[in-house]
Amino acid sequence: MKLREIMTEKVVVVDMDCSLTLIKEFFDNASFHHLLVVEGDELFGVISDRDLLRAIGPKAGTVAETSADLMDLNRRAHQIMTRSPVTLPANADIKLAVEMFNTYQISCIPIVDWKKKPVGIVSWRDILKTL
């Protein structure tokens, strides 16, 4: 089975200078767990909801937030993203994706075209649903 058969094609991308405030908003109001960071159309990084939680205080975005929390929320995507993420093409076999998840201990694999443009994403949950 090929990854194109199980990948999520509608991916959310942000640019390198996107604020953590906006990224937090995306995660707070959606059911996905990963954002792809691009410059132009090219993939440069991935931010998971866990990356965001590690980067901001627990009070950030609440009425109890401190000035330190505000400073955290003003940071940018490129400051917390995982750079040079593991990627695969849409025609890669699902077995290769499983090997990548196990080898690199990652929670998603961006699917890219030959220009490194994101065309989808596969999470370990997608693999489990398929198997």
* Beta bridge pairs of residue 47: 35
In this prediction, residue 42 carries a pLDDT of 97
Backbone angles phi, psi at 27, to 5 degrees: -65, -35
> What total number of domains does the chain contain?
1
Enclosing domain of residue 15? 3-130
In this prediction, residue 61 carries a pLDDT of 67
Q: What does the pLDDT look like over 31-66, one tens digit per residue?
A: 899 999 999 999 999 999 999 988 987 767 667 767
User: CA separation (Å) from 10 to 34, 54, 60, 68, 118?
Assistant: 12, 26, 28, 34, 10
In this prediction, residue 84 carries a pLDDT of 93
Whole-structure pTM value: 0.89
In this prediction, residue 60 carries a pLDDT of 72
Residue with tokens 């792809």: 36
The C-alpha atoms of residue 11 and residue 40 are separated, in whole angstroms, by: 15
